[in-house]
Structure formats: C-alpha cells, structure tokens
C-alpha cells in the first residue's frame, strides 16, 4: 500500500462526478493514472511558416488576422483569414459565437493549432485550437510534445492533463513509488530507461522524439513498460502454477482400470488417432502423479477433444472420483450430455445435466446425488459452479472451450473440490489456435498438449468467397444440395456485441429462406431461445427432420451433424478469422466433400478481402491464426468474445511479440535469483486481480 493505491479523489479537481467518470476509463487509483498513456501526441514545439503547410499536417502556426466574416453560404460559418510573413490560410468555424467574431478582429495576433486540409479556396484549418497573443514577444511553443489522452464523456483533455500531471509530480517527489523491479542488467542490456524516466517521457515526450515513433510504439520508454507488464502477467501465472504444484491430488489408479478402459474403447465407433493417444498418455501421467493436473488440450475443430476428455473422466470414475464438465453454452453442454450418456451407459454411475433452468425436485435430486456420490459425472454451464453444489469426491474438472472463460473463473473452480490440501485435477480444452508465443504467455500456468491430427477420412472444407449479390445462386445451390439428401447450415453473423440484433436478423433470414425454398424444411436456432426449444431444434436437425438450419453464431462451438456438409455464412467480414474457422468446422464431419460459402456485403475493404482469402486458402487453424495476427493484431485473433484473453494496459501482443522470448528468459532468472520482486511487480500491473495468484 502506498500513494499509488490511493483513490484519485485525493487529487485536486477530482470531485465525486469526476471520480465516476474516471472510473469509466478504468481509473480508480493514482497508479491507474500513471499507466493511462496518451493514445497520440501533438507537436506544438515549433511554429511552421504558413507557406510550408500541406494538407494532413497537424501544426502550430502564428500570425495576424487579415480578415474575418460570417458566411451565410451553405452552412453558416465564421471564416477568418490569417497570415504570417510567408503566406496566409483560412480558419473556419461552424460552431462559433459573437464573442469569437469580435475577438478575431483584423490585425489581432493569434497562435493556432490544428490539422491542415484542402478547402475550396486553398488550405484551411477547421476549428483550430487558437489563442490571442497579447504581445509579440510571447512564446506560444511548448517545450514538450502535448499528450492526447483517451477520454470519456464529461472529462476534457485539459482537465485530464492536469490530473495526470499531479499524479506524475507525486511520483517524481517520492521516487520509491516507481521503484525499478526489473533487474538492472536487463535495463542495461536493452537500453531501457528507468521506470520513472519512461513514465515521464511517455506523458510528456521531449521534442527530440518523433511523434511517429511514439505512435508506432517504437520508443524504448514504451517497450520498457510493455516488457514489464508482460513480465508481470507471466510471473503471476507462473506463481499460481508453482503454488498448485504444492498441493496434492487424487491418484487415478483404480484396480479395475484396465478392464474399464478396454470396455470404453470397445464402445467407441472408431479407434483413437495417434495424437489422441499421445495426449491421453500425458493426461494419465498427470493424473497419477499426486499433484493436481493443470493441462490445456489444444486441438483444431473436429480433432476429437471430447473423447480425450471422456477418457480422463473414465480414469477418475474408475478410481472412485466424481467428474464435473463445464461448457460455455447450453447447446454445447447438451451435446456433451448426449455423448457422455452414451459412452458411460454401461458404467455403474449416473451422468446428470444441470443448468440454472433445472429447478425444484429434479434439482434437489441431482444435488443429493452429488453429495452422496451416486452421481459420477455432472455436466453443465458455468452457472453450475456458481450454485451451492457440493461434491462427495470431486476428482476432475473438465472445462471445454476454455477461451470463453476468464482466468479467474478457471482458478476459482479449483476450490470446488478442495479437501484440505487436496485439489481436483483440471483439464481444459480449446479449439482456438493461438500462435506459440502468445500461448506461452496466455497459458503460462498450464501444461499444454496439442492434438495436431484430424481423424482419418476428413477432407478439407472447400471454401469460397461470394458477394451477397449472388444470393440467388447460393439459394439454388442449397436447393440442389438438399435434393441430394444433404443438410445445410445458414449462419447469420452480425455485430458481435448485439445478440438481440443477431437473433432478429436470423429470424428474418429464416422467414425469407422459407419463402424462397418452399420445398425445404427450414428451422431456426438462436441464443435467445429457451434451452428446451434449442434442444428440440437440434434433435430435429440431427434426425434429419430439418434440411436447412438457420442459426446465429451460437452454433460456433461443438455442434456435430455429419450429414450437414454445406454452410453459408452471411457477413463473414464481421467476425474474427478464428471464429469463422470454428464455425466452418461444423461441416466436413461426414463422408464426401463439404463446402463453406462466405457471403460478404459489398464493398469489401482490402484487408477484409485478404482476410477472407486466408480462410479460403487454408484449413489449418494455426496457419490462419498466424496470418490473422500479421494482418490485424491479436485482439482479432482472440476474438472479442474471448473473455479468457488477458487484457493489457500497455502491451500490444502484435506490436510487442518480439519481447516475449526475453520475458520468459527474465522470468526464469527472477524465479531463481530475485523472487522478492515478483509480488511488487504483480501488484503494480495486475492490481486487485492479483488475488488469483493466491488461489
């Protein structure tokens, strides 16, 4: 606890209202202000001669008013002609008052800052920042670049600058506050400035630093902060992992295990791929090692992760432990329920399904069964774990599509099965491929297994990119596809943030397609339907009582209907590539060719065209993720829906990927040589969320 963790309310000019507004920017304590960096800078350190201006320049100029008038032509505007010794330029205001009009009398000296643009009559500046110069000798230049901060409604740039300035002055007075925890040799080796110097530079860079370099993140001060932030996250996850190693866990070595496994493998309608067998071996080792397993299984869509998790469940059951399976959506949980019910039908245990919607006696019975141990496997969404569910002997937690859950949720779950020093094993699965370096950071608390092989017989999905104008052709294609006895998905992707709009769009589309395709049985599924209704629709589609399923992106994860070999995705340009790849993974599960039609709205930007091209040309989730990262930056790779993604204040994984190797190296060094800096670093960068390191 020091001044950095004091509320910003102690600063002058920060009342209750400002406090609330700052909170919207994620700023609560003084330390938050320190790391609230400008998103751009303005250079008011020099005065440009007007003759040297070109459109697009952001410049400070100085001169006198030649002429001023209100022009009623078109939109009413106040127009002022300003000159210096070299030339003249127009200043134009659409919002103005009489006072301004009077102030800008001919002959008045003014200084002006703004962006130069091409007007009808030569160059002009729209709504410049300007001030009257009372005396020729007044210097209007600034000695440093001017920071421009991300704002929120009700807080202006000037006000925020003053508040930040106070925070920085505080740090400059008390040098303990920005103590350097990064080992000195690292600073030297990379020519990084001290933390205090970096902070001072970024909030008020001196004129020698170029605005471009700052904006591109290409200055040592910024790199140094990004480095420290990444290091702190990595250290925090690693710490949590080290702590986990000190716990004990059940040993899954039931006496009847070999027989049970044989029986299980016999019920499977296929044999396991080499990759599946390898990952299963890794899980077996973990589950008999007396420390809690913390393993992530990564595998492309359709690589067969579910059966691998079922195998782990089998190990737990045969050793007399219970298993909890958590999925991010009800649809997916229901599907797991179907699979696990079949696979474990021959075993002497109950497989039950629990969501928030299971109520009354049914619920009581399930909770009773968990408490007395007659329920062996429970499957549900995360709601399941927020309830007061008590297990008799929880030995294994399986989390599917881990990227949908937050790190904290994952950690908190472990406590469910806590008994003294014992913790359950944890197996988490994700189909979202992320580039290796990213994975090493994001999952530094987990061991990672990769299923890098698809079951045999899978053919690549043939993807085409088609403009929405060709909708009629697409509909013809659906017709002939259904005539051949096959089924189709039609996915309406809309703005990710709006589930309501997405559902409405899907409803509308279903109506239109029903009209356009009278002979075809059309059904609709979306996230706002009741769970039981969704289940009915999915069952009907599975049983081929429905030919064409119109859906929102709820079917993104897990749905498995082999006869559906054609998917149309509407507005694919609005989704992240990895998400599109996941969606597309719903087809290509049966025999024969399968197709995905990406039907975009015209016009398509160049980048969007390139991105869809990546998807057309590759079926490999990892390749797609890497290329997407090159093109767009990591926010996109992860997809905004991934609550599990770590969000950074300063680091940008696309820009700062080059730091990750050093981060790992230095983290090792810190663990061995200076573990005392771990806690302060985590406190500084993760603040309140550091708690999870303590779980």
CB of 270 to ligand ADP, least distance (A): 3
Residue 376 interacting with Mg ion (CB under 5 A):
no
CB of 429 to ligand ADP, least distance (A): 7
CB of 394 to ligand ADP, least distance (A): 23
CB of 287 to Mg ion, least distance (A): 21
Helix pair angle (330-343, 257-267), 10° resolution? 110
Interacting residue with ligand ADP among 238, 295, 586, 589 (CB under 6 A)? 589
**Which of 562, 584, 579, 598 lies closest to 401, judged by CA?**
579
Q: Which does 455 bind (CB under 5 to 8 A by kind): Mg ion, ligand ADP, none?
A: ligand ADP
207 CB burial (10 A radius; 0-12, 13-18, 19+) = middle
CB of 303 to Mg ion, least distance (A): 9
Q: Map 470-481 to HEC letters.
A: HHHHHHHHHHHH
Q: Which stretch binds ligand ADP (CB under 6 A): 212-220, 300-308, 590-598, 619-627?
A: 300-308
Q: Are 582 and 329 in contact (CB under 8 A)?
A: no
Residue 621 interacting with Mg ion (CB under 5 A):
no
Judged by beta carbon, residue 240 or residue 298, the one nearer ligand ADP is 298
Contact letters for ligand ADP, residues 455-474 (x by CB under 6 A):
x-------------------
Judged by beta carbon, residue 34 or residue 384, the one nearer Mg ion is 384
Interacting residue with ligand ADP among 431, 513, 546, 653 (CB under 6 A)? 431
Residue 571 interacting with ligand ADP (CB under 6 A):
no
DSSP label of 455: P
Helix pair angle (621-632, 606-617), 10° resolution? 170
DSSP label of 182: S
CB of 311 to ligand ADP, least distance (A): 11
Contact letters for ligand ADP, residues 248-287 (x by CB under 6 A):
----------------------x-xx--x-----------
Q: Which residues of 498-510 are buried (b: 16+ CB within 10 A; e: fewer)?
A: ebeebbbbbbebb
CB of 558 to ligand ADP, least distance (A): 6
Judged by beta carbon, residue 125 or residue 428, the one nearer Mg ion is 428
Judged by beta carbon, residue 203 or residue 305, the one nearer ligand ADP is 305
Residue 307 interacting with ligand ADP (CB under 6 A):
yes
In the chain, count H helices and then E strands: 26, 21
Interacting residue with Mg ion among 31, 292, 558, 590 (CB under 5 A)? 558
The residue of the chain with the least Cβ separation from ligand ADP equals 304
d(CA 326, CA 329): 9
Contact letters for ligand ADP, residues 503-542 (x by CB under 6 A):
----------------------------------------
d(CA 379, CA 559): 16
Q: Which does 303 bind (CB under 5 to 8 A by kind): Mg ion, ligand ADP, none?
A: ligand ADP
Judged by beta carbon, residue 446 or residue 583, the one nearer ligand ADP is 583
Tally Cβ neighbours within 10 Å of residue 161.
Answer: 16
d(CA 382, CA 185): 45
**Which of 347, 325, 323 lies closest to 336, judged by CA?**
325
Q: Which does 302 bind (CB under 5 to 8 A by kind): ligand ADP, Mg ion, none?
A: ligand ADP
Judged by beta carbon, residue 233 or residue 382, the one nearer ligand ADP is 382
CB of 571 to ligand ADP, least distance (A): 24
**Which of 156, 170, 140 lies closest to 45, judged by CA?**
140
Q: Which stretch binds Mg ion (CB under 5 A): 24-32, 552-560, 597-605, 645-653?
A: 552-560
d(CA 337, CA 522): 26
Q: Which does 589 bind (CB under 5 to 8 A by kind): Mg ion, ligand ADP, none?
A: ligand ADP
Q: Which stretch binds ligand ADP (CB under 6 A): 207-215, 237-245, 298-306, 539-547?
A: 298-306
**Which of 173, 162, 166, 172 lies closest to 198, judged by CA?**
172
- Phi, psi dihedrals of residue 14, rounded to the nearest 5°: -110, 95
Cis peptide before 61 (omega within 30 of 0): no
Beta-bridge mates of residue 70: 78
CB of 310 to Mg ion, least distance (A): 11
Q: Are 542 and 487 in contact (CB under 8 A)?
A: no
Interacting residue with ligand ADP among 239, 303, 442, 449 (CB under 6 A)? 303
CA atoms within 13 A on the CB side of 166: 16
Judged by beta carbon, residue 377 or residue 494, the one nearer ligand ADP is 377
d(CA 352, CA 370): 9
**Which of 443, 463, 477, 401 lies closest to 598, judged by CA?**
463
CB of 610 to Mg ion, least distance (A): 29
DSSP H or E segment with residue 535: helix 531-542
Residue 302 interacting with ligand ADP (CB under 6 A):
yes
Q: Are 596 and 569 in contact (CB under 8 A)?
A: yes
Q: Which stretch binds Mg ion (CB under 5 A): 152-160, 556-564, 626-634, 679-687?
A: 556-564
Judged by beta carbon, residue 238 or residue 542, the one nearer ligand ADP is 542
103 CB burial (10 A radius; 0-12, 13-18, 19+) = middle
Judged by beta carbon, residue 167 or residue 564, the one nearer Mg ion is 564
Tally Cβ neighbours within 10 Å of residue 152.
Answer: 15
Q: Which does 272 bind (CB under 5 to 8 A by kind): ligand ADP, Mg ion, none?
A: ligand ADP
d(CA 460, CA 202): 49
Judged by beta carbon, residue 233 or residue 305, the one nearer Mg ion is 305
Q: Which does 307 bind (CB under 5 to 8 A by kind): ligand ADP, Mg ion, none?
A: ligand ADP
CB of 307 to ligand ADP, least distance (A): 5
The full DSSP string for 458-499 is PPPPEEEEEEGGGHHHHHHHHHHHHHTT-EEEEEE---TT-H
CB of 75 to ligand ADP, least distance (A): 57
d(CA 354, CA 530): 15
- Which positions lie near ligand ADP, rule CB under 6 A? 270, 272-273, 276, 299, 301-307, 431, 455, 558, 560, 589
């Amino acid at each position: 606890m020091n001044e950095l963790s004091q509320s910003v309310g102690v600063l002058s000019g920060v009342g209750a209202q400002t406090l609330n507004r700052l909170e919207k920017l994620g700023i609560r304590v003084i330390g938050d202000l320190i790391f609230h960096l400008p998103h751009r800078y303005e250079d008011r350190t020099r005065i440009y001669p007007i003759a040297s201006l070109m459109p697009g320049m952001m410049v400070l100029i100085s001169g006198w008013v030649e002429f001023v008038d209100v022009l009623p032509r078109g939109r009413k505007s106040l127009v002022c002609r300003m000159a210096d010794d070299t030339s003249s330029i127009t200043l134009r205001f659409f919002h103005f008052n009489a006072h301004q009009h009077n102030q800008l009398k001919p002959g008045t000296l003014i200084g002006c800052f703004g962006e130069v643009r091409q007007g009808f009559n030569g160059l002009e500046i729209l709504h410049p920042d300007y001030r009257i110069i009372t005396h020729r000798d007044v210097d209007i230049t600034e000695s440093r670049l001017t920071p421009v901060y991300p704002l929120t409604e009700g807080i202006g740039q000037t006000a925020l600058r003053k508040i930040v300035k106070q925070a920085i002055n505080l740090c400059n007075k008390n040098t303990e506050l920005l103590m350097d925890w990064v080992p000195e040799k690292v600073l030297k080796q990379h020519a990084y400035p001290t933390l205090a110097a970096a902070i001072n530079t970024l909030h008020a860079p001196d004129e020698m630093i170029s605005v471009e370099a700052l904006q591109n993140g290409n200055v040592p001060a910024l790199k140094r902060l990004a480095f420290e932030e990444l290091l702190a996250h990595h250290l925090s996850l690693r710490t949590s992992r080290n702590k986990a190693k000190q716990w004990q866990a059940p040993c899954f070595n039931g006496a009847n295990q070999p027989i049970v496994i044989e029986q299980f493998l016999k019920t499977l309608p296929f044999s396991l791929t080499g990759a599946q067998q390898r990952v299963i071996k890794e899980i077996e080792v973990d589950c008999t090692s007396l420390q809690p397993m913390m393993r992530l299984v990564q595998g492309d869509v359709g690589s067969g992760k579910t059966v691998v998790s079922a195998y782990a469940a089998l190990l737990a059951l045969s050793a007399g432990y219970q298993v909890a399976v958590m999925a991010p959506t009800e649809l997916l949980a229901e599907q797991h329920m179907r699979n696990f019910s079949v696979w474990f039908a021959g075993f002497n245990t109950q497989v039950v399904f629990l969501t928030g919607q299971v109520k009354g006696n049914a619920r009581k019975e399930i909770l009773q069964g968990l408490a007395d141990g007659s329920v062996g496997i429970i499957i549900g969404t995360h709601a399941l774990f927020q309830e007061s569910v008590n297990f008799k002997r929880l030995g294994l937690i399986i989390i599917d599509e881990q990227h949908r859950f937050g790190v904290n949720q994952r950690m908190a779950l472990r406590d469910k099965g806590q008994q003294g020093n014992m913790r359950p094993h944890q197996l988490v699965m994700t189909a979202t491929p992320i580039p290796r370096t990213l994975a090493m950071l994001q999952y530094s608390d987990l061991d990672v297994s990769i299923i890098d092989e698809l079951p045999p017989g899978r053919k690549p999905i043939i993807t085409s990119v088609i403009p929405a104008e060709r909708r009629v052709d697409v509909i013809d294609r659906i017709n002939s596809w259904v005539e051949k006895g096959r089924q189709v998905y039609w996915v309406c992707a809309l703005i990710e943030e709006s589930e309501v709009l997405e559902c409405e769009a899907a409803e509308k589309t279903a109506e239109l397609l029903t009209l356009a395709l009278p002979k075809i049985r059309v059904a609709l599924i979306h996230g706002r339907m009741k769970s039981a209704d969704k289940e009915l629709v999915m069952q009907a589609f599975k049983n081929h009582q429905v030919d064409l399923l119109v859906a929102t992106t709820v079917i993104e994860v897990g749905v498995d209907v082999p006869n559906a070999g054609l998917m149309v995705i509407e507005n694919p340009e609005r989704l992240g590539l990895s998400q599109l790849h996941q969606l597309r993974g719903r087809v290509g599960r049966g025999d024969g060719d399968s197709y995905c039609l990406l039907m975009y709205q015209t016009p398509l930007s160049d980048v969007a065209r390139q991105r869809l091209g990546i998807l057309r040309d590759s079926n490999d989730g990892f390749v797609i993720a890497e290329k997407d990262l090159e093109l767009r930056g990591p926010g996109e790779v992860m997809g905004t829906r991934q609550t599990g993604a770590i969000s950074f204040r300063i680091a940008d994984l696309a820009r700062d990927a080059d730091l990750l190797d050093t981060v790992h190296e230095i983290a090792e060094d810190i663990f061995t040589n200076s573990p005392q800096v771990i806690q302060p670093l985590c406190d500084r960068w993760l603040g309140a969320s550091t708690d999870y390191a303590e779980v």
